[in-house]
Amino acid sequence: MESNVRVRFAPSPTGPLHIGGVRTALYNYLFAKKYNGTFILRIEDTDQTRYVANAEQYIIDSLEWCNIPFDEGPGKNEKFGPYRQSERKELYKKYADILIDSSWAYYAFDTSEALDAERKGHEEEGKTFIYNWHNREKGRLVNSLVLTADEVQKRINAGENYVIRFKSPQDEILKMEDEIRGNITIDTNTLDDKILFKSDGMPTYHLANIVDDHLMEISHVIRGEEWLPSMPLHILLYRAFGWNAPKFAHLPLILKPVGKGKLSKRDGDKLGFPVFPLAYTNDETNEVSRGYKEDGYFADGFINMLAFLGWNPGTEQEIFSLDELVQSFDLKRVSKSGAKFNPDKTKWFNQQYMQSKSDAELTDLFLPILSEKGISKDKYFVQKVVSSIKERAVFVTDFWDLSSFFFETPTEFDEKAANKNWKPETAQLMQELAQVISNVEDFSSANTEKEIKEWITVKEIGFGKVMQPLRLALVGKLAGPHLFDIIAMIGKVETINRIENAIKNL
């Protein structure tokens, strides 16, 4: 790999950052770090009509939570700044003029009404109107290719609205190479003359994107598949300026879990999963969109899941640390076809990361949940609880449902379990068991288990007749970790209290 790899993630601040955008950022980050390169954040805010004030900070916060922070960007190592396109707009007119002077672009004064009339006229003839070599110089369209230089200047001086269009070449087969999709060819006769600059002083995405990528010395453009149709124009723009083009790689779409098409917020709302990294509040509507962070996902598990949406390492390994992803990532192993999003697989990744966390780390996350419920317990006790339940949890927020019986005496009992396991003779058995437990001196899990099982054996009754009602009394349902671990942790007095409570209420 050539030295000085520089890649950029260039979102538009029009709302919350979709996980498709996060994946694009992630792949850029992994690629940059693999080759000791630079990961750049550029805010492409030329579309001021859709600009959302808090979106840029949301993007930055999302990258930070994902542990993929940018090396250069707004307010950070601004080597080629500014990194907001709205603060660079003076640059773009200069480069638009260069294209005009070299005949790679031209002024067009067509009104929207005139263009609509052209489209309708073509439709009536069963044709599609394309503003390009086919009609740009026939006289019906008003541009600097048919007007004299004096006429053009008079119109500009008079304040007429205009755009600057790229002059796509005629009769050429353009050959391009994509790092993921291989060789691509296109007939330039099928290209339209895209607008590069508007009379309001703002460039379109195409011009600003190319100029900024060149001036920021971008070596690889890794972006979503939706930009693949723009690749010919961008390659031609590099040629028009006489610049070397970066290498291009167009990532596959992230697809809906059910049905066809691109994953959207609507899919998440319908099926009950977030599509944004962080919760997002719309300032205008106050609508709150769910986020992976707030839903209890670990950032490293979230990133691991995203990496596999379109890329695979070529091995059976699925759990990767960020450093391992950096070492393993290869654009050649990114798929051309779309990657179907799987909410259940996302939960699986989170559960795997749950098991890899230390009990102490998970305890620190659980303690605030207990505090909100007014429960104050010794941290060592809580850590033992966490150790006993974490294998059955997907999220830290699951801990309370899995462990509430460690902290509170059950007030309700599973009706189905009670009907099946609490028989007329059960109360008497539980009374006797309570007496046995009161006489146990070594209240460790192992010893209590030995003493109770010996008593059951001596009485010659089935283990299920004691164990199931006992679990029901202690937990409120037939669930939870090893029964004698529960007994040891809640202690003798509480164990007997719960048995007596069950006898009264069942």
213 phi, psi to nearest 5 deg: -60, -40
Nearest Cα to 321, choosing from 300, 302, 352? 300
The dihedral through the CA atoms of 130, 135, 139, 143 has a sign that is positive
Query: Phi-psi bin for 43: left (phi > 0), alpha (psi -120 to 50), beta?
Result: beta
Burial of 243 (0-12, 13-18, 19+ CB in 10 A): middle
The amino acid sitting at 453 is K
Query: Per 3-state DSSP, what percentage of the chain is helix, strand, and coil (rounded to 5)?
Result: 50, 10, 40
Burial of 298 (0-12, 13-18, 19+ CB in 10 A): buried
The partner residues of 40 in beta bridges, in order of sequence, read 8, 72
User: Cβ distance 22 to 9 under 8 Å?
Assistant: no
Q: How far apart are CA 358 and CA 32, in angstroms?
A: 30
Active-site hit among 34, 198, 262, 265: 265
Chain centre distance of CA 373 = 31
DSSP label at residue 167: -
User: Cβ distance 5 to 36 under 8 Å?
Assistant: yes
Nearest Cα to 84, choosing from 8, 24, 15? 8
Q: How far apart are CA 396 and CA 297, in angstroms?
A: 9
Note if 265 is an active site residue: yes
Chain centre distance of CA 153 = 49
Q: How far apart are CA 408 and CA 285, in angstroms?
A: 41
Cβ neighbours of residue 417 closer than 8 Å, sequence gap 6 or more: 468, 472, 477, 478
The full 3-state SS of 49-97, as one line of letters, equals HHCCCCHHHHHHHHHHHCCCCCCEECCECCCCCCCEHHHCHHHHHHHHH
Q: How far apart are CA 478 and CA 224, in angstroms?
A: 49
273 phi, psi to nearest 5 deg: -140, 155
Nearest Cα to 347, choosing from 403, 273, 294? 273
User: Cβ distance 156 to 197 under 8 Å?
Assistant: no
Looking at the annotation, which residues are catalytic?
265
